[in-house]
């Protein structure tokens, strides 16, 4: 079966990009990265892509008069590269409803919380302030509303008594590096079906163990 051609959109260091690069380098992985695109020429993740021999492209958002023309330029570049799925990995630009709709169910994102809890910024600070016992991350299909859309994969990590935002963020980031490649694999294998505003994953286990925090 042909591997799914994907693009990864970044704005910064590309930590999750590296996890996707490493997974796509495996010969049995069902997707390949054909383009890494950034809106900033100084995005460190561009070097990660170059080191892996992956084509890169910079489309500076400041060169466009509005979000619509910027998003149109991105779509043109993505389609020229033959991309079938777009992965957002620290892409720090709000996307227009037109872009999101054009790529509907072909556009995924990772967010550092267990959505729908704590969308937006400062997720770890807010989670700690609320006293939650678990943090985590969510990979989801993108909708026009920020950090919203059918959920593909979630990973939960415990919040420890001495955590601050940095230590919790580091623990969640480790989970992100496992969750994003898993979500990409599931989508690329055709195992994820979007039904309304939720997903069904074929072959998913019917039972997972319960975790308690604190445990007795």
Please give the Cα distance from 63 to 38 (Å, whole number): 13
Respond yes or no on whether the N-terminal peptide bond of residue 214 is cis (omega within 30° of 0).
yes
Residue 164: exposure state from Cβ atoms within 10 A (0-12, 13-18, ≥19): exposed
Closest CA to 62 of 103, 35, 93, 24: 93
Is residue 8 within 8 Å of 89, Cβ to Cβ? yes
Instruction: Provide CB contacts within 8 A for 99, sequence distance 6+.
Output: 71, 72, 74, 75
111: annotated active-site residue: yes
CA angle 203, 108, 183 (to 5 degrees): 30
φ and ψ of 160, to 5 deg: -95, 155
61, 102, 111, 124: the catalytic one is 111
Catalytic residues: 111
């Amino acid at each position: 079966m042909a591997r799914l051609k994907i693009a990864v959109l970044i704005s910064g260091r590309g930590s999750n990009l590296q996890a996707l690069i490493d997974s796509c380098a495996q010969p049995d992985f069902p997707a390949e990265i054909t383009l890494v695109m950034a809106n900033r020429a100084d995005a460190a993740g561009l070097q990660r892509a170059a080191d892996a021999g992956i084509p890169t492209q910079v489309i500076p958002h400041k060169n466009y008069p509005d979000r619509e023309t910027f998003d149109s330029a991105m779509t043109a570049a993505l389609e020229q590269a033959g991309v079938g799925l777009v992965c957002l990995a620290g892409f720090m630009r709000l996307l227009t409803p037109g872009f999101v709709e054009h790529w509907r169910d072909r556009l995924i994102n990772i967010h550092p919380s267990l959505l729908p809890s704590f969308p937006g910024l400062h997720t770890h600070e807010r989670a700690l302030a609320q006293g939650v016992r678990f943090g985590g991350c969510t990979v989801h299909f993108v909708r026009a509303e920020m950090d919203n859309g059918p959920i593909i994969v979630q990973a939960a990590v415990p919040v420890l008594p001495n955590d601050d935002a940095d230590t919790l963020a580091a623990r969640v980031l480790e989970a992100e590096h496992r969750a994003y490649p898993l979500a990409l694999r599931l989508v690329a294998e055709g195992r994820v079906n979007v039904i309304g505003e939720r997903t069904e994953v074929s072959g998913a286990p019917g039972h997972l163990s319960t975790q308690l925090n604190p445990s007795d």
